[in-house]
């Protein structure tokens, strides 16, 4: 199981690292970060894998607010209302798979898998 996650992680890092400064400066990921964009009432990635202690940066590219949260045990968070063009970094410290939703738009859903 753990072994099988690594190709996913490599793919996710590849995508995040693939942003060029010319195309999207705002969405550029720092090392240890994965950027997830909220656009058209959806997440641009529905499953990401990060290492424990890493961050998922949520960027709102819609013209209205979102409110990302997780109630999965061990990974609970709630960033509160997130205005358009703002970003929120969420640090995941524990290994596990965490379901992330938006309080305003219940059909928005993604998972963050955290590996040691």
Residue numbers at the binding site for Cu ion (CB under 5 A): 66, 102, 104-105
**Closest by alpha carbon to 68, among 36, 34, 29?**
36
Question: Taking the complex as a whole, how short is the minimal distance between the CB of residue 51 and Cu ion, in angstroms?
Answer: 27
Cβ closest to Cu ion, residue 49 vs residue 101: 101
Question: Taking the complex as a whole, how short is the minimal distance between the CB of residue 58 and Cu ion, in angstroms?
Answer: 10
Question: Taking the complex as a whole, how short is the minimal distance between the CB of residue 36 and Cu ion, in angstroms?
Answer: 12
Q: Under DSSP, is residue 96 helix (H, G, I), strand (E, B) or coil? A: strand
Q: What is the C-alpha to C-alpha distance for residues 14 and 8, in angstroms, rounded to an integer?
A: 10
SS3 content of the chain, % helix, strand, coil (to 5): 15, 40, 50
Cβ closest to Cu ion, residue 35 vs residue 102: 102
Whether 84 contacts 65, CB under 8 Å? yes
Cβ closest to Cu ion, residue 12 vs residue 100: 100
């Amino acid at each position: 199981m753990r072994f099988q996650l690594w190709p996913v992680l490599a793919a996710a890092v590849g995508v995040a690292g693939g942003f060029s400064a010319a195309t999207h400066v705002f969405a550029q990921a720092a090392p240890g970060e994965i950027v997830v964009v909220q656009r058209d009432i959806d997440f641009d990635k529905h499953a990401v894998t990060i290492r424990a202690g890493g961050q998922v940066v949520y960027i709102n590219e819609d013209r209205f607010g979102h409110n990302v949260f997780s109630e999965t045990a061990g990974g609970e968070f709630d960033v509160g209302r997130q205005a358009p063009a703002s970003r929120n970094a969420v640090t995941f410290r524990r290994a596990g798979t965490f379901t992330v939703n938006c309080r305003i738009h219940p059909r928005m859903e993604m998972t963050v898998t955290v590996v040691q």
